[in-house]
Chains A and B, each alone.
Chain A
Amino acid sequence: MLREWPRARYLIRQAAMTATPHSLRSNSPGRSAPNRAGGSQVTYNDFVIRFANVNGSGSASANGMFAKALFRMGIPVATRNIFPSNIEGLPTWFEVRVSEHGYMGRREGVDIMVAMNAETFAEDIESIVPGGYLVYDNSKEMPRHLRRSDIHFVGIPISQLALPEFPNPKHRALFKNIIYLGAMSALISIDFDVITGMVSAQYKGKDDLIAPNIHALEIGRNYALNYVDCPLPIQVRYSDAVGERIMVDGNAAAALGAIYGGATVCAWYPITPSTSLAEAFEKYCNQLRVGASGERNFAIIQAEDELAAMGIVIGAGWNGARAFTATSGPGVSLMTEFLGLAYFAEIPAVLWDIQRAGPSTGMPTRTQQGDLLAAAYASHGDTRHPLLFPSTPKECFEFGADALDIADRLQTPLIVLSDLELGMNDNLSEPFAWDDDRRYDRGKVLDAEQLDDIETFGRYVDADGDGIGYRTLPGTHPEKGAFFTRGTSRDEYASYTEHPEAYTANMDRLLVKWETARSLMPKPDIHDRGRRAGILYYGTTALPIPEALDRLREDGVELDTLRIRAFPFADDVRAFIDRHDIVFLAEQNRDAQMKTLLVNDLGIHPAQIESVLYYGGFSISADTIHEQVLAYYEARKLPRLREVGS
């Protein structure tokens, strides 16, 4: 039946590369696909592919298998799910950065677009770089005005192929995704056995689903092999660039970290993009935390709102259980009163803020680093909270456990600022590691015997000079150590008072504790080779940095780097800023929030930092960093290495 279509009609339409102003159409002026049309050079393992789908159409599974297949072939991939706040019917994109170099950040422009959504078809075609490829369903004729002469059109009649094979319309819609996956395997040379192996593994136990899925794969693959010049000049091949690395999203990693770190209470309220963290905690607890008699060594409460979620965490922390919650910006807003109380009452708590573009009706499914100030100073009065900034899933795992230790040690709420980019997308990551000799640091908690040895217990007495008092847990001792927890209207023995001296002394002690925090928090990741300029970054802004640095080096700009991992800032951060003539700071918000924190916390001059900002809702790209840093040099006519050297 396939033979009924005349071969010529479905051949790739070779584009003429003459006289078209490509840059007007492409997202990325000057960038073109590695294999320009007309040239026959084949590139391997280096491209951006984007799948344009309708959400709720079942495409996620096929797209995920695509990325996983490349990963299993040893090729580094970074996935990005660009999705709407909707269940069914709106446009969604799945982007895969394939990079033998290991560039995991976003790169502007799309080399291969698999356009399966009629609604966004026009804009999807626009986003393809000159020389790139459009893979589309040509069951219907494409409107003439959408044609571009500078890209290649690869038509696969997916609907027509599916129609006779899958009579049930619901099944047909799902199998169309599998058909294009099959076609892609031929177009870019994915090892077909890897894909069929994944299908068999995915439907293990539901064997009747394996055959139709493999059949759908073969339909797409055979069509491409028979009617398209396969493979395209953009291809994949086996590599060893992945090494030992795993593929996982940051939220799952954070949840595992919380389990390894001994969290027993998790209270949360559903909110994108943090929901999957709490759900992963439950999933992994069911695997890893159920005792021999079926007892569940954890308690998870889906609370009525974020206020309650934080209240539960604080109640549990007060009573000596390790507890955490996960939320996003709107949830942080609701938690602020409790965060302030916990700061003053000195109760350990861990909050994962998976940041998104605000406000509540902002762009809840888009990523941003916009909650720094809201988190650092959450609540009324003189409050400040330590922050952690993970960059990779492995760091999410480590901070998942470390945060619980630090919060216990400092007796204060600690906020981990992840984001949608890290939390919800599958990222390559070094494998998780755990030292079985590690013991939890529960901080200064007195037991009954220790209380017996103490003359007078004072909850807020700074006995060690580090600003941290000794706590007791309810029920520890019949006569000693009980105290009444309130905010600040108490003396260092936790007795009620509103005396100004007692209030001021307490507030000053909390500043001593803040300095203790500075020395306890994870140190920055510094690469300083004595250059005159440097760049600071944190969280997912780290992803495009290697690529941006390489491109800047090609342009004669070499930068030292410092990745911020925590607030308050280590002394090394100030030294790095002071040592350089200029320090760039790349972040994903409009108001340069990290810069504000640096100026506030370290007292440095704002002119020492030049901001590189992106806040459009996607993850910051190497292109953005490259362009903004270069623009700084050009505007000031600063010499670059190449000019100096020549």
Chain B
Amino acid sequence: MTFVAKPKIHHPLLTVNELGLTRRDYEGSVSTLCAGCGHDSVSAAIVQACASLSLPPHKFAKVSGIGCSSKTPSYFLGNSHGFNAVHGRMPSVATGANLANRELYCVGVSGDGDSASIGIGQFAHIVRRRINMLYIVDNNGTYGLTKGQFSATNDLGSTSKKGVPNLYEPIDLVSMALQIGASFVARSFSGDKRQLVPLIQAALMHKGFAFIDVISPCVAFNNHNGSTKSYDYMRGYSGNLIDADFIAAGEEITADYEPGQLEDVAMPDGSTLRLRKLDEDYDPHDRVLALSHVQRAAENREVVTGLLYVDPDASDCHDILGTPPTPLNALDESVLCPGAAALERVNAALR
């Protein structure tokens, strides 16, 4: 297996964004994942979201752990640096990367094995720390690279390809993220680009920790009858709770829905997140309600998708730490080194 670069030929009809770039400029190398893998749809959604937001394609720090999902940062934003780190430890690498340079868009891609098993501790703690990033879990309920073992997000009773049922309770990362304090929590489905792309756009523009759990079927090991992470199951049992549309700054905002059901959320960059409630009783700013809604649906073996919770005024780790607006990695001796005179005072205090 070798790296294959995509030819840089643009279709003449490809749309050009504000930076004069097309979607192709946001792609990466050719995917080596299985044909039909949900993860490739997620990568495509990231490409589309970044291109339509006209974000500079080199101003990203892409981080991942280990697994099929964690290979994907190679397949989008090829002009950005990526770091394929240690299994389950992407959150700590993302934390360090974000502390070093707050100006980059930090995108972490992980999987259900990576985040819900080996890395569950790091997942929990990056949520607490409010790192300003987009954290996507490509959730397929299985360990693909090692050929089909159950992961911790697999539902109780969901069967393996050979028909063996999973005997253990699932871990729901959305519920965890809600409980521990994530300021943007969504669930989506790799097969629903219409929903997923605006969610990624909004998450990238959100200040604070944005988490999207994307059910992303594994065509090789977990896409059969009896699996609750298959394309068919998701099409049959998932329900969109809140629709989110992303409206870039300066773009005209038109109302084509019944008033009362719409809410426009102002984003830090001047863009607007338009939420369309599909359930009148739902409030996407009520963390407790969101949590109970998600849990109740799970009891009914339904998957709730959409933007489940958002706090548009959230703070991030840099606010907590009080760091300067200049990235820490751009500070030089003049700021960092207190100098010989100050050291003499330190010496004097130690006599």
A-side interface residues toward B, CB under 8 Å?
Answer: 72, 246-248, 256, 259-260, 262, 264-265, 267, 284, 288-289, 291, 294-301, 303-305, 307-321, 323, 337-338, 341, 345, 431-436, 438-440, 472-479, 482-486, 495-498
A432, B343: Cβ atoms under 8 Å?
Answer: yes
Chain A neighbourhood of B325, CB < 8 A: 295
Q: Does B9 contact A (CB under 8 A)?
A: no
Give 19 A-B pairs besides A262-B333, A321-B101, A475-B101 with Cβ atoms closer than 8 angstroms: A72-B351, A248-B350, A288-B342, A297-B331, A308-B89, A308-B125, A311-B122, A313-B96, A315-B83, A315-B92, A315-B99, A316-B96, A316-B99, A318-B96, A319-B100, A321-B328, A432-B347, A474-B97, A483-B81
Which one, B37-45, B72-80, B160-168, B265-273, is touching chain A? B72-80
Q: Which residues of B303-351 are within 8 A (CB) of A?
A: 318, 321-325, 328-329, 331-333, 335-340, 342-344, 346-347, 350-351
B340, A479: Cβ atoms under 8 Å?
Answer: no
In the complex, residue of chain B having the shortest beta-carbon distance to the beta carbon of A436: B340
A337, B79: Cβ atoms under 8 Å?
Answer: no
B93, A304: Cβ atoms under 8 Å?
Answer: no
Min CB–CB distance A358 → chain B (angstroms): 23
B335, A291: Cβ atoms under 8 Å?
Answer: yes
- A474-B104 contact in complex given A315-B92, A484-B74, C-beta closer than 8 Å: yes
B61, A341: Cβ atoms under 8 Å?
Answer: no
* Separation of A484 and B83 alpha carbons in the complex (Å): 6
Chain B neighbourhood of A472, CB < 8 A: 81
B322, A301: Cβ atoms under 8 Å?
Answer: no
Which residue of the partner chain, among B59, B84, B340, contacts A434 with CB atoms under 8 Å?
A: B340
Per-residue interface assignment for chain B, residues 122 to 139, with 1 indicating a CB less than 8 Å from any chain A CB and 0 otherwise: 101100010000000000
A296, B323: Cβ atoms under 8 Å?
Answer: yes
Residue among A284, A304, A341 with most chain B CB within 10 A: A304
Per-residue interface assignment for chain B, residues 95 to 114, with 1 indicating a CB less than 8 Å from any chain A CB and 0 otherwise: 11111110110000000000
A475, B337: Cβ atoms under 8 Å?
Answer: no
Min CB–CB distance B133 → chain A (angstroms): 11
Which residue of the partner chain, among A309, A315, A485, contacts B82 with CB atoms under 8 Å?
A: A485
Chain B neighbourhood of A317, CB < 8 A: 96, 100
B346, A256: Cβ atoms under 8 Å?
Answer: yes
* Separation of A431 and B343 alpha carbons in the complex (Å): 9
B86, A341: Cβ atoms under 8 Å?
Answer: yes
Chain B neighbourhood of A433, CB < 8 A: 340, 343
A264, B82: Cβ atoms under 8 Å?
Answer: no
- A320-B329 contact in complex given A295-B322, A315-B83, A483-B81, C-beta closer than 8 Å: yes
Min CB–CB distance A457 → chain B (angstroms): 12
Which residue of the partner chain, among A265, A309, A475, A476, contacts B328 with CB atoms under 8 Å?
A: A265
A439, B95: Cβ atoms under 8 Å?
Answer: no
A291, B125: Cβ atoms under 8 Å?
Answer: no
Chain B neighbourhood of A307, CB < 8 A: 89, 92, 122
In the complex, residue of chain A having the shortest beta-carbon distance to the beta carbon of B338: A288
Q: Which residues of B42-81 are within 8 A (CB) of A?
A: 56-61, 63, 73-74, 78-81
A482, B89: Cβ atoms under 8 Å?
Answer: no
B-side interface residues toward A, CB under 8 Å?
Answer: 1-3, 29, 56-61, 63, 73-74, 78-86, 89, 91-101, 103-104, 121-122, 124-125, 129, 318, 321-325, 328-329, 331-333, 335-340, 342-344, 346-347, 350-351
Which residue of the partner chain, among B56, B82, B89, contacts A311 with CB atoms under 8 Å?
A: B89
Min CB–CB distance B14 → chain A (angstroms): 18
Which residue of the partner chain, among A247, A314, A483, A496, contacts B96 with CB atoms under 8 Å?
A: A314
* Separation of A484 and B95 alpha carbons in the complex (Å): 18
* Separation of A259 and B343 alpha carbons in the complex (Å): 11
B324, A482: Cβ atoms under 8 Å?
Answer: no
A301, B350: Cβ atoms under 8 Å?
Answer: no
* Separation of A26 and B217 alpha carbons in the complex (Å): 74
In the complex, residue of chain B having the shortest beta-carbon distance to the beta carbon of A487: B84
Residue among A319, A338, A483 with most chain B CB within 10 A: A319
In the complex, residue of chain A having the shortest beta-carbon distance to the beta carbon of B92: A311
* Separation of A294 and B329 alpha carbons in the complex (Å): 18
Q: List 13 A-B contacts (CB under 8 A).
A: A259-B338, A260-B338, A265-B99, A265-B328, A296-B323, A301-B99, A315-B63, A315-B85, A318-B83, A321-B96, A431-B344, A434-B339, A497-B3
B95, A305: Cβ atoms under 8 Å?
Answer: no
- A315-B96 contact in complex given A473-B329, A497-B3, C-beta closer than 8 Å: yes
B328, A496: Cβ atoms under 8 Å?
Answer: no
In the complex, residue of chain B having the shortest beta-carbon distance to the beta carbon of A473: B329
Chain B neighbourhood of A260, CB < 8 A: 337-338, 343
Residue among B1, B339, B347 with most chain A CB within 10 A: B347
Chain B neighbourhood of A485, CB < 8 A: 81-84
Chain A neighbourhood of B3, CB < 8 A: 495-497
Min CB–CB distance A79 → chain B (angstroms): 14
Min CB–CB distance A599 → chain B (angstroms): 32
B96, A439: Cβ atoms under 8 Å?
Answer: no
Min CB–CB distance B86 → chain A (angstroms): 5
* Separation of A431 and B2 alpha carbons in the complex (Å): 56
Chain B neighbourhood of A289, CB < 8 A: 336, 338
Which residue of the partner chain, among B2, B98, B324, contacts A497 with CB atoms under 8 Å?
A: B2
Chain B neighbourhood of A247, CB < 8 A: 350-351
Min CB–CB distance A294 → chain B (angstroms): 7
B101, A474: Cβ atoms under 8 Å?
Answer: yes
Min CB–CB distance A253 → chain B (angstroms): 9
A294, B85: Cβ atoms under 8 Å?
Answer: no
* Separation of A309 and B1 alpha carbons in the complex (Å): 34
* Separation of A318 and B121 alpha carbons in the complex (Å): 22
Min CB–CB distance A560 → chain B (angstroms): 33
Chain A neighbourhood of B78, CB < 8 A: 482
Residue among A310, A314, A341, A482 with most chain B CB within 10 A: A482
In the complex, residue of chain B having the shortest beta-carbon distance to the beta carbon of A265: B99
* Separation of A341 and B78 alpha carbons in the complex (Å): 22
Min CB–CB distance B17 → chain A (angstroms): 14
B346, A264: Cβ atoms under 8 Å?
Answer: no
In the complex, residue of chain A having the shortest beta-carbon distance to the beta carbon of B28: A484
